[in-house]
Each structure stands twice: as C-alpha cells, then as structure tokens.
C-alpha cells in the first residue's frame, strides 16, 4: 500500500476546501522557466472545456502515494509519476491540446524531486489563476507506521542520508508541512491496508459509477503449462475431447460445430451456468476489494477445442453482465 506496497494505513480523513484564483479570463502566460499554460478560453483550437482536471498526489514516503496513483490510473486518469513541479503547467497545456483525449491528469510529487519542490507553489498558483480545476491529495502516516514499512523492505528513507530513518521522516515532514496544510484531502494511512486506501480513493474520485472491472478470459492447453498470470483456473477435461471425433479434429473451438458438440455434452451447460454465476459473485467481491483486473484461465489438453469453446461462452456471459472482457486463445494453433 506504500511506495513499497508494504503495509496498512489511515486512521482519519480530513478534507479541506480551498479557493483558487479566479483569473480564468486571462490569456496564456509564461513562467520564468518558459512553460506556457493557456486557459483555453481565448486560444483558438483549445476550448475551455478541454482544460484537464488536475490532481496532485503527494505526502510522506511510505504512506501510499503509489497505491493512490495506481487507483486513479485504474479509474481512467492519466498519471505521471515524479514530475518536476515546474513542468505541471506544461502537462496541463498538453492535455488541453489533446482535444478531450486527456481529460483528467494526476501528478505524483514527492521528495525524490526535492530540487524542484520549491517551484510547486508558483506552478499551482499559476494554474489557479488560469482557472484550472485541481485538487491536492496528501498521504499521511504516523512515524511508527512509516518506520515499520521502511524496515520491512530494508530500504532507507530518501532523506535520511547518513542518519536514521526517523531523521529522514522528520526532514520530510518539515519539507511538506505547507503542502499538507493546503491539501484538499488528507488521508492518514497509519492503520489502513491497500484495499482500504483504494476504497477511500474510489469514494473520492470514482463518482457514482461503480469502479470498472476488466476481465481476460484465456484458453490454454495443460500440456503447455499453466498461465502464470491466471487468477482463476478451470479444467474442461471433464468433457469429451472433440479431438477423437475425426470430422471435428481439424477445427478449433471457434468453429460452430465444435462449439455445439462441446456444449451438448452432459454437464457442459450446467457448468457454464453455475460458473458464470460464481464469477458474478467473485466480480462483486473483486470490486469491493479494489481489484480492477482478473484473468480467468480455461484449460483443456491442447487448448484447441473445449477450452476455446467454453472461453468464448464465458466471455459472452461476462460481457452481458457489463464486465469489459477480452478473450485470448493462448495455445490455439500450436499443434
């Protein structure tokens, strides 16, 4: 749940509302570093509606910035990690020029970019003056929790230098004090696990729609080995093999006659109905636990007939339930 995905998190959430500058009518201006940001209002070809929504993710090292960023990425945000603050206006400008293709941008800012951190206040003020909608999320955690997380992965704090982990934590707190005070959302991850942090991010940024689950249904042959990335595996070898039917042997499970043969066997339709129902329950649980991707592996001997036919049927059932589904036939054609 942390940058190292190590451990638990928040005790409390605190949301602070902050009003930005109202200079939305100003034309494009340049900062000292030359980065140009447009309101999109007066500039031809960049309508005001095209200005991306912006979220700044920052906070203590080990408090869960990576998890928070990954959550936004799963929700469809364009995420940039460790971007120098001075380049944030440039990123927003590029998003505005994307003609709506990049509508939401999340930028992770942390002490790894401490050489540029002093530019953050100026960049954010400049964006506020141009009417860019932005929010700052700050990930907080107690010293004890952070020390445990760093010790569990045997890595030093990025600011501890020759000192101890607690010295690095203290230096980072001081560096981030002002940003924490200005944050729109502060999440204390001291007692939260990964799933609980994702749930909090979903509650803030997913809107009313339930977070989307994406499924890959993969047929495979057991004789070629199990898929290493499978979350769920089912075995179709309880059904008769079309390989032993001479007129069906040359074809695959994509062939209508082969698929009809497979589905007409005793237990095939019952399996399809009951497994599809089980997947409905599993999908709901995955959403609650913050899991956004699932790979369902369907196997038979060679990955040519039974697994292919059943994968296609299962994928159709999932798609009918509103799950974004991709079908992959890993071993079809290997014989």
More confident site: 300 or 33? 300
The CATH-assigned architecture of domain 53-203 is 3-Layer(aba) Sandwich (3.40)
Q: Does 189 have pLDDT greater than 80? A: yes
Annotated binding site for ATP: 59-66
Distance, CA of 276 to chain centre: 25
Instruction: For residue range 277-328, list pLDDT tens digits in order.
Output: 999 899 888 877 767 778 999 999 999 999 999 999 999 999 998 888 999 9
pLDDT band for 15, please (50, 70, 90 cuts): very low
Annotated binding site for GTP: 110-113
Annotate 54-91 with b (16+ C-beta within 10 A) or e (fewer): bbbbbbbbbbbbbbbbbbbebbebbbbbebbbbbbbbb
Burial (CB count within 10 angstroms: exposed 0-12, middle 13-18, buried 19+), residue 261: buried
Q: Name the H helices within 247-305.
A: 256-263, 268-288
pLDDT at residue 301, as a whole number: 96
The listed range with the strongest mean pLDDT (84-88, 260-264, 276-280, 326-330) is 260-264
- Nearest 5°: phi and psi at 323? -90, 125
Residue labelled with tokens 């942090």? 197
Q: Which residue ranges does the chain devote to CATH 3.40.50.300?
A: 53-203
Largest CA distance in the chain: 76
CA gap 72, 100 in Å, rounded: 18
194: which residues sit within 8 A by CB, 6+ positions away? 1, 5, 9, 64, 67, 290
Annotated binding site: 59-66, 110-113
Can you list the positions of beta strands (E) in the chain? 13-15, 29-30, 36-37, 53-59, 78-81, 104-108, 134-140, 185-188, 214-221, 232-235, 293-300, 324-329
């Amino acid at each position: 749940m942390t940058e190292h995905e190590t451990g638990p998190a928040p005790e409390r959430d605190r949301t602070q509302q902050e009003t930005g500058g109202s200079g939305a009518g100003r034309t494009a201006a340049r900062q000292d570093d030359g980065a140009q940001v447009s309101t999109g209002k007066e500039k031809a070809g960049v309508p005001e509606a095209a200005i991306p929504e912006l979220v700044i993710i920052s906070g203590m090292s080990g408090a869960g910035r990576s998890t928070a960023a990954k959550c936004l990425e799963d929700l469809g945000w364009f995420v940039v990690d460790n971007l120098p603050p001075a380049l944030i206006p440039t990123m927003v400008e590029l998003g505005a020029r994307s003609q709506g293709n990049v509508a939401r941008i999340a930028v992770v800012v942390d002490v790894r970019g401490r050489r540029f951190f002093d530019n953050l206040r100026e960049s954010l003020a400049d964006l506020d003056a141009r009417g860019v909608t932005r929010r700052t999320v700050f990930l907080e955690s107690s010293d004890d929790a952070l020390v445990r997380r760093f010790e569990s992965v045997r890595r030093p704090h990025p600011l501890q230098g020759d000192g101890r982990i607690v010295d690095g934590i203290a230096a980072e707190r001081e560096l981030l004090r002002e940003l924490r005070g200005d944050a729109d959302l502060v999440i204390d991850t001291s007692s939260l696990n990964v799933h609980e942090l994702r749930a909090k991010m979903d509650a803030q940024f997913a809107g009313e729609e339930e977070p989307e689950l994406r499924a890959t249904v993969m047929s495979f042959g057991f004789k070629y080995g199990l898929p290493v990335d499978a979350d769920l595996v089912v075995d179709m070898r309880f059904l008769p093999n079309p390989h032993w039917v001479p007129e069906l042997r040359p074809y695959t499970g994509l062939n209508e006659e082969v698929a009809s043969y497979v589905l007409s066997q005793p237990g095939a339709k019952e399996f399809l109905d009951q497994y599809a129902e089980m997947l409905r329950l599993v999908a709901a649980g995955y959403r609650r636990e913050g899991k956004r991707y699932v790979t369902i592996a369907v196997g038979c001997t060679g990955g040519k007939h039974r697994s292919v036919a059943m994968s296609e049927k299962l994928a159709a059932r999932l798609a009918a339930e509103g799950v974004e589904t991709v079908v992959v036939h890993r071993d079809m054609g290997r014989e």
